[in-house]
Amino acid sequence: MIDNILPFPPNASLSVSDEVEVKTRWSGATGNRIAGRFLKKTPLDPLQRAARLPGRALHVYLAIRHRCDLRREQRVTLPAAYLQAFGIGKDVKRRALAELETAGLIRVERLVGRTARVTLV
CATH of the domain at 94: 1.10.10.10
Number of domains in the chain: 1
pLDDT band for position 24 (cuts 50, 70, 90): confident
CA angle 103, 97, 88 (to 5 degrees): 135
Strand order in the sheet with 117-120: 75-77, 117-120, 106-109
Ramachandran region of residue 104, left (φ > 0), alpha (ψ -120 to 50) or beta? left
Q: Is residue 105 part of a domain?
A: yes
Q: Is residue 102 part of a domain?
A: yes
Q: Is residue 77 part of a domain?
A: yes
How confident is the model over 32-63, as pLDDT tens digits? Answer: 555 677 777 888 999 999 999 999 999 999 99
Domain boundaries, position 89? 44-120
Q: Is pTM, for the whole model, over 0.75?
A: no
Residue 121 near residue 75 (C-beta atoms within 8 A): no
Residue 7 near residue 20 (C-beta atoms within 8 A): yes
Q: Is residue 28 part of a domain?
A: no
Q: Is residue 62 part of a domain?
A: yes
CA angle 72, 38, 34 (to 5 degrees): 125
Q: Is residue 32 part of a domain?
A: no
How confident is the model over 81-108, as pLDDT tens digits? Answer: 999 999 999 999 999 999 999 999 999 9
Q: Is residue 7 part of a domain?
A: no
Q: Is residue 31 part of a domain?
A: no
